[in-house]
Amino acid sequence: MPLDPELEKRIRRLAVENSIAHGGAPRPGPIVARLLATDPSLRSRADEVRAGAEAVVAAVSSLGPEALARELAALGGPEPERSREKASEGGEFPDLPGAVPGKVVLRMAPFPSGVLHVGHARMLYVHQHYRERYAARLLLVFDDTVGSEEKRVETEFFDMILEDCRLAGVVPDEVVYKSDRIPRFYPWAERIVRHGSAYVCRCSAELLRSNRAHGVACPERGQTPDEANAEWKRMLDGAYGPGEAVLRLKTDMQDPDPAFRDRVLCRISDLDHPRVGHRYRVWPMLEFSWAVDDVELGMTHVLRGKDLVIEDRMQRYIWDLLGISGPPFVHWGILRVREAKVSKSKSYREVKSGLYDGWADPRTWSLRSLDRRGISMDALRAFTLSFGMSLSDIEVPAETLYAENRKRIDATTPRRAFVPDPVRVEVEGYPVELASVELPNHPDRPELGRRRVAAGPVFYLPYRDVASRPGAEVRLKDLINVRLPDPVPPAAEGLRARFTSRENQRLPRLQWVGAADAVPVDVLDVEGNHSTGLAEAAVAASTPREIYQFERVGFVRVDDGVPVGARPVRVVYGHP
């Protein structure tokens, strides 16, 4: 789809500005970031905006300095600074039906089989938004029913999820464990049985699937309430083993949704539960447990994803059956970050096998991995809430989240020189008085001060940049101009370049690090890959969790547990 003319003009204007600022080498990332930061309406079109920016950048990068200047003048000069709009937390957040400030009770219900990840952000921040709006009470209720062989409750995740909540700034008022409440579900089950609305089913899984698909009732559906109750007691007394019997709710066997035909209320399991061991053998299914707990725990509203609509139906069906008025349900659609291939089961396997670097490995897209990369929870909250309570499923590129984070850290983050794929280059005729130079810590923030760095005559430059410009005159960023060799020899041989001038000309800019104090750096990227390069000496004095912008690379955070002065310095890549 072509961009509208006004947006295309704005992209071109920003691309020309970027090209002039970077000596003819514009980058689409900063252009897209500025557009998303100053116009939140573009966030749902981030892919379209990026594609447009890349096309414009490709065209603009072929223009010379004079043509760029003429183009910018024709476009009306540099774009005026626009205010960066604060992401609205009230974009589309409807009032909760019947909500009374100070009387609202909400709950979050994670299953403790892994840590919280970017996909849980909507659960966290939607609840927190309404909590603040209504001075609500917020419960964290662990859905620690017994699980299955494939999806098991793990002890470690109770504390880890609580830590994740604290990291996100969403601290619950009370913590509840389903496993502490198992006996409370049995009287409800018996009420349904005595109502004549449940029976104990001993059908095989194969027969059950066939019957449900064809709308055929289980032969045991005709149990009288007394017969069903006797079988229910046998379940509780241990007469049946796992898979031999379930308590099943009587619903319409002709329901248009086969999954809703006679759903299971309780089943038998002999798995060892990390909190209660083998104390209980009969466990409630999640939707039945919520039909009970949303009433007994006093929920006034249930906020959840629209993918849980069948759970809504189950809860309402049970409440109507027993003459109970339960809380209303409020839904949101699924919000996905395209690059985040989130899978709790996969992450679990890879963390436990040692393939991933713990739960903070960037590939997990957990909250703790975002924090490790330098992405603030404030940015995550703003990103999440900018989509409101839309019921539409939304998939956006990670750049949308990165733009929010960039708004928060760009102005206060020091710049540092870093050279990936470094090659040693000696500059002939280098001015001796430039053995060291002072550079600003931030190009636009003089209040962040300056630092002194070692310069020439020997530098490390990115080999790919050098090899792609044989014989060209280039500018070592903020320093001098040099003529590169032609041809360019292999990196292992080292290179010699020739000093040409100090004048700040419109030439391609190359990042550099003075060889005299270069320090090795290990960079962990979003895909879990490690790469090495060289940075200026100031990086070696970093403290853990310090954030830098490696110029022409992106934002990085010094990894936790790295002693000051360690070699190599370990950093985690955040985003462009």
CA angle 260, 262, 263 (to 5 degrees): 65
Q: Report the C-alpha gap between 336 and 229 in whole angstroms.
A: 45
Q: Tell me the average confidence (pLDDT) per consecutive run of 10 residues in the chain, 576 residues long.
A: 76 80 68 70 74 82 76 71 45 90 96 94 96 96 81 90 96 96 97 97 85 86 96 97 95 90 94 93 95 98 93 96 96 93 86 93 97 96 93 92 95 96 96 95 92 95 95 96 94 90 93 96 96 95 94 94 84 97
Tokens of 196: 């004549």
Domain spanning 183-287, CATH architecture: Alpha-Beta Complex (3.90)
Distance from the Cα of residue 52 to its chain's centroid: 25
Domain ranges of the chain: 5-74, 183-287
Tokens of 400: 């949308």
Tokens of 68: 């760029």
β-pair partners for 549: 415, 555
Q: Report the C-alpha gap between 203 and 515 in whole angstroms.
A: 76
Q: State the pLDDT at residue 82.
A: 52
Write down the H helix ranges in 196-273: 205-214, 225-236
Q: State the pLDDT at residue 526.
A: 96
Q: State the pLDDT at residue 35.
A: 77
- Rg for the chain, CA atoms, rounded: 30
Report helix, strand or coil for 101.
coil
Report the interhelical angle of 286-296 vs 182-194 (nearest 10°). Answer: 100
Q: Report the C-alpha gap between 141 and 44 in whole angstroms.
A: 33
Report the interhelical angle of 156-168 vs 121-134 (nearest 10°). Answer: 60
Report helix, strand or coil for 367.
helix
pTM: predicted TM-score of the whole model, two decimal places: 0.83
